[in-house]
Chain A
Amino acid sequence: MKKFFRNLWENRTWLLMVLPGTLWFILLAYIPMAGNVIAFKEYTIHPEGFIASIIHSDWVGFDNFKFLFSTSDAWVITRNTILYNLVFILLGLALAVALAILLSQLANKRLAKVYQTGMLFPHFLSWVVVSYFVFSFLSMDKGLFNNILESLGMSGISWYHEPEYWPYILTSMNVWKTVGFSSIIYLAAIAGINRDYYEAAMIDGASKWQQIKHVTLPALMPLMVILTILDIGKIFRADFGLFYQVPRDSGTLYSVTNVIDTYVYRGLMQMGDISMTTAAGLYQSMVGLILVLLTNYIVKRIDKDYALF
Chain B
Amino acid sequence: MKAEEKPANLSKKRRKKVRNPHHFSPKTNIIMTVLLGLSAFLCIFPFLYVIIISVSSEESLIRYGYKLIPEEWSLDAYSYLWNMRGQLFQSFGISLLVTILGTVISVLMITMYAYAISRPQFRYRGFFTFFAFFTMLFNAGLVPLYIVMNQFLDLRNTIWALILPLAMNAFYIIIMRTFFVRSIPEAILESARIDGASEWRIFFKISVPLAVPGIATIALFSTLGYWNDWFHALLFIDDPNLVPLQALLMRIENNLEFIRQNTELGGAVQEIYATVPQDAAKMAMVVIATLPIALTYPFFQKYFISGLTIGGVKE
Contacts and interface: CB of A to CB of B under 8 A. Distances in A.
A is bound by B: yes
Counting chain A CB atoms within 10 Å of each CB, the highest count among B29, B32, B61, B139 belongs to B139
B142 A24 contact: no
Contacts of A119: 39-40, 43
Nearest to B146: A268
Contact of B21 (A126, A134, A202): A202
A285 B140 contact: yes
B145 interface: yes
B55 to A, nearest CB: 13
Interface in A123-164: 123-130, 132-134, 136-137, 139, 141-144, 146-147
B21 A115 contact: no
A188 to B, nearest CB: 6
B270 interface: no
A250 to B, nearest CB: 11
B245 to A, nearest CB: 9
A171 interface: no
Given A17-B113, A106-B32, A277-B143, A115 B308 contact: no
Given A29-B140, A195-B22, A126 B37 contact: no
A115 B141 contact: no
B164 A24 contact: yes
A31 B165 CA distance: 13
Contacts of A7: 123
Q: Give chain B's interface secondary structure class.
A: helix
B31 to A, nearest CB: 10
Q: Give chain A's interface secondary structure class.
A: helix
B89 interface: no
Given A120-B297, A142-B61, A241 B289 contact: no
B230 A126 contact: yes
B36 A11 contact: no
A155 to B, nearest CB: 14
Given A18-B117, A124-B293, A264 B142 contact: yes
A27 B113 contact: no
A50 interface: yes
Contacts, number: 286
Contacts of B133: 308-309
Interface residues of A, number: 104
A235 to B, nearest CB: 14
Nearest to A293: B137
Interface of B: 3-4, 19-26, 28-29, 32-33, 35-37, 39-44, 46-47, 49-50, 53, 61, 65-68, 108-110, 112-113, 115-117, 119, 121-125, 128, 131-133, 135-149, 151-153, 164-165, 167-168, 173, 198-200, 203, 224, 228-231, 246-247, 249-250, 253, 279, 282-283, 286, 289-290, 293-294, 297-298, 301, 304-305, 308-309, 312-314
26 contacts: A14-B122, A14-B125, A17-B112, A18-B113, A18-B117, A25-B132, A29-B135, A32-B141, A32-B147, A35-B144, A35-B145, A38-B143, A106-B32, A107-B33, A126-B246, A136-B66, A144-B66, A146-B65, A184-B305, A208-B24, A241-B231, A274-B143, A281-B142, A285-B139, A292-B137, A306-B313
Interface of A: 7, 10-11, 13-15, 17-18, 20-22, 24-25, 27-36, 38, 45, 49-51, 53, 99, 102-103, 105-108, 111-112, 114-130, 132-134, 136-137, 139, 141-144, 146-147, 176, 180-181, 184-185, 188, 195, 198-199, 202, 208, 237, 240-241, 245, 248, 261, 264-265, 267-268, 274, 277-278, 281-282, 284-285, 288-289, 292-293, 305-309
